[in-house]
Amino acid sequence: MLNQNSKKYFLTVLLFIFSIFVQTINAQQFNATVDKSTVGQYDRFQIYFTFEGGDVNGISNFRPPALTGFRILSGPNQSSNMQIINGKVSGSITFSYIVQPSNIGEFVIQSASIDYGGKTFHTQPLKLKVEKGTPQQQKESTGGYSQEELAKNVFIVAEANKTRALLGEQITVTYKLYTKLNISSPQITKLPSYEGFWAEEVGPLQNINFEIGMYKGERYRVAKIKQVALFPSKTGTLSVSPFELNVPVIVKKKKTGNDVFDEFFNDSFFGRSETVEIKTRSNTIKVEVDPLPQNPSASFTGSVGDLSFKAEVDKKDVVTNESLTLRLTVGGNGNIKLIKVPDPILPSGFEKYEPKNVENINRGSIISGQKIIDYLIVPRTAGEKEIPPMEFTYFNPSSRRYVTLKSQPFKINVRQGVAGSETASQGFSQSDVKLLSEDIRFIKTSNFNLEPKQEISLIKPWFWVSLIVPFFSLVGAVVVKRRQDKLSGNVQLMRYQKAEKAARKRLKLSKEALDRNDITNFYAELSLALFGYLEDKLGIQKSEFTLEGAVEKLLRKNVAEDLITQLKRIAGKCEYARFAPQGELSAEAASLYNEAVKVIVDVDSSLERRR
């Protein structure tokens, strides 16, 4: 009897443990669903990625698939549901997208992933069929308005202050949003590319402020959404590609039939309206760039603008080995970052160290500022020395002529410093030579009293260490020196090696701005960290960098598509932050920072594996 009871007790415990195990396995699920598996070409439908089970606060790093073949109208939109039963927390969280097909055929929505409890969960791919639709379906999907009607009432215009310029002359491009309808916050889908230009962002613009304006004889509400200063870096016909936005438009739903209820609820009292997405695209700007006049002076290094040049020293009377500072300052209107300051020519006996470079740039409608170069100079020999004058030549596009500015010469009186330093370089002083009576001794020929040594000393271990350590130190120094020479001779390789270090510095600045709750500077520094990393890692010049070009290079290097999608989303958020309300962005700033850090680390790891 006791044996039978023991068996029953053992089976009960086993079943209890097994049920807990099964519940644990099936506790979390991550599924993907759509509200319809067959859609028309112009239909809008929703895709849901739902995680169920457990405490949803532990969820992180939702990574959506690349929705290739679909236009994203809205999303990701997040909703959650949580409940507590008998002290146990469970719930669900859903990420949804509203999309519209861009073509007909059969499509596969690839797997999404999410992290929870130290594990990664994946959805199963979904198959979807898109059938040919009718223009009437397209009209119904936009609240009864055709795309042509919406495009006439909401659009972007790109304006350039000049369409013909000289090499290096500033061109200001302004993007304006015109609308007759009510809109909400736009989302960037594609940034313009500035191939052949050096670009400097003007602003940045904090908010969208609408004013009443006219366009082609019609009255609109108009807002400046982006402004950029472009400096041509090559001649010929250059193009600025369009700027693209998804603009949510709030429209009153049109009457679609003769139904009495439709007519009743369509009354203005009820204000039936809906939000539809319209894709707006600015016009392409073409600029003719002419070369600068020929035969400039030898001191011309490519600087263009309205500039000034000044040189000064902080001391003119020094002793040997006492440092002085030579400061060269170039200021005014122009592309301050690309200005090349002339190198000083120093007299013999002067030693020059690496200069300190400071740039102060004012990004107003006209780019201006200062570039300050400080040279630390140490005179090693005494005497009257002279630093000869320096010439700085630039081209002024307003007067259409080259201007040469010349600094004054600097006479430096160098007095002898520490006594005896000159004699040391000439040989021995008289005090170093002393004749003593014991200097010359007789050579002994007998009575040596020599005794044989009883013990031969063995070579001690420290002797071998003293031989081996310098050898390996020398080898290490040679390897490091060759690597530094290689990096110095290959700028692209040096930028590649230091890309992650430079990104970490920028990310630190963005984190400091976030801690100060300075959301505007946070997004600006985060954008510089992300774009600067891509420029250095992919070997793209700053003047030729575009997000699309960087994405193409990453794809060619077999970087994962979901990682590229995350990168594009973060870049879009940073760009959108330039004109979005600050309160709207502060809530997701911390999570976006963490995502940016993870994306940079993951991209760097992926590129290093494929080198």
What domains lie within the chain, and their CATH numbers?
25-140 (2.60.40.740), 147-290 (2.60.40), 300-415 (2.60.40.740), 492-609 (1.20.120)
- The CA distance from 548 to 241, in Å, is 11
Range ranked top by mean pLDDT from 62-76, 137-151, 178-192, 499-513? 178-192
The mean per-residue pLDDT over the stretch 314-319 comes to 91
Asked if residues 81 and 48 have their Cβ atoms less than 8 Å apart, the reply is: no
pLDDT of residue 506: 81
Q: State the amino acid at position 302 in one-letter form.
A: G
Q: Which residues pair with 357 in a beta bridge?
A: 373
Would the pLDDT of 270 be above 50? no
- Residue 401 pLDDT exceeds 60: yes
The reported pTM is 0.49
Can you tell me the mean pLDDT for 48-75?
79
Residue 310, classified by CB atoms within 10 Å of its CB into exposed (0-12), middle (13-18) or buried (19+), is middle
Count CA atoms within 13 Å of residue 310 on its CB side.
9
First to last CA, the chain: 72
In sequence order, the 6+-apart residues with CB closer than 8 A to the CB of 482 are none
Q: What is the average pLDDT score of the chain?
A: 77
What is the distance between the alpha carbons of residues 208 and 580, in angstroms, rounded to a whole number? 7
Q: Is 469 exposed, middle or buried (0-12, 13-18, 19+ CB in 10 A)?
A: exposed
Predicted confidence (pLDDT) per residue in 277-306, tens digit: 888 889 999 999 999 998 888 899 899 999
By the 8 A CB rule, do 487 and 494 touch? Answer: yes
Burial of 95 (0-12, 13-18, 19+ CB in 10 A): buried
Please report which helix (H) or strand (E) contains residue 49, including its range: strand 45-52
Q: Which residue has the tokens 């920072």?
A: 593
Side-chain half-sphere CA neighbours of 36 within 13 A: 14
Q: Determine the average pLDDT of the residues in 213-238.
A: 89
Of 591, 484, 443, whose CA–CA distance to 62 is shortest?
591
Angle at 203 between CA 202 and CA 205, to 5 degrees: 125
- Burial label for 135, CB within 10 Å (0-12, 13-18, 19+), is exposed
Q: What is the pLDDT of residue 292?
A: 92
Q: Which residues contact 17 (CB under 8 A, 6 or more apart)?
A: none
Q: Which residues pair with 159 in a beta bridge?
A: 174
Q: For 143-154, write each residue's pLDDT tens digit.
A: 556 677 788 888
Q: Would you say residue 538 has pLDDT above 60?
A: yes
Rounded distance, CA 243 to CA 174, Å?
Answer: 11
Pairing assessment for the beta strands 391-396 and 300-313 based on DSSP bridges = parallel
Q: Residues 6 or more apart from 541 whose CB is under 8 A from it?
A: 535
Q: What percent of the chain has pLDDT over 70?
A: 74
The most confident of the ranges 6-15, 369-378, 447-456, 571-580 is: 369-378
Check residue 11 and give its pLDDT: 62
Q: Please, are residues 251 and 274 in contact by the beta-carbon 8 Å criterion?
A: yes
The answer to whether the CB of 37 falls within 8 A of the CB of 84 is no
pLDDT band (50, 70, 90) for residue 247: confident
Report the alpha-carbon distance of residue 108 to residue 77 in Å, rounded: 21
Whether a cis peptide bond, with omega within 30° of 0, leads into 409 is: no
How is residue 480 annotated by DSSP? H
The mean per-residue pLDDT over the stretch 570-579 comes to: 72
Q: Which residue has the higher pLDDT, 123 or 520?
A: 123
What does the block give as tokens for 77? Answer: 């939109």
Contact 363, 326 (CB under 8 A): no
Instruction: Kindly give the pairing relationship between strand 164-166 and strand 285-290.
Output: parallel
Q: Are strands 383-387 and 410-415 parallel, antiparallel or unpaired?
A: antiparallel
Instruction: Show Cβ contacts of residue 286 under 8 Å, excluding neighbours closer than 6 positions.
Output: 163, 237, 238, 239, 240
Token pair 């055929």 is found at 105
One-letter amino acid at 129 equals: K
| Token couple for 118 | 């130290």
pLDDT for the residue numbered 289: 93
258 three-class SS: coil
Alpha-carbon separation of residue 460 from 3, 76, 457 (angstroms) = 78, 73, 8
Other beta carbons within 10 angstroms of residue 240's beta carbon come to: 24
Tell me which amino acid residue 79 is: S
- pLDDT tens, position by position, 344-394: 989 988 988 889 989 888 888 888 999 999 999 999 899 999 999 999 999
pLDDT band at 411 (very low <50, low <70, confident <90, very high): very high
Per-residue pLDDT at 522 exceeds 50: yes
pLDDT digits (tens, 9 = 90+) for 426-480: 333 333 334 434 445 556 555 666 666 555 555 667 777 777 888 888 888 777 7
More confident of the two residues 291 and 93: 291
pLDDT at 59: 78
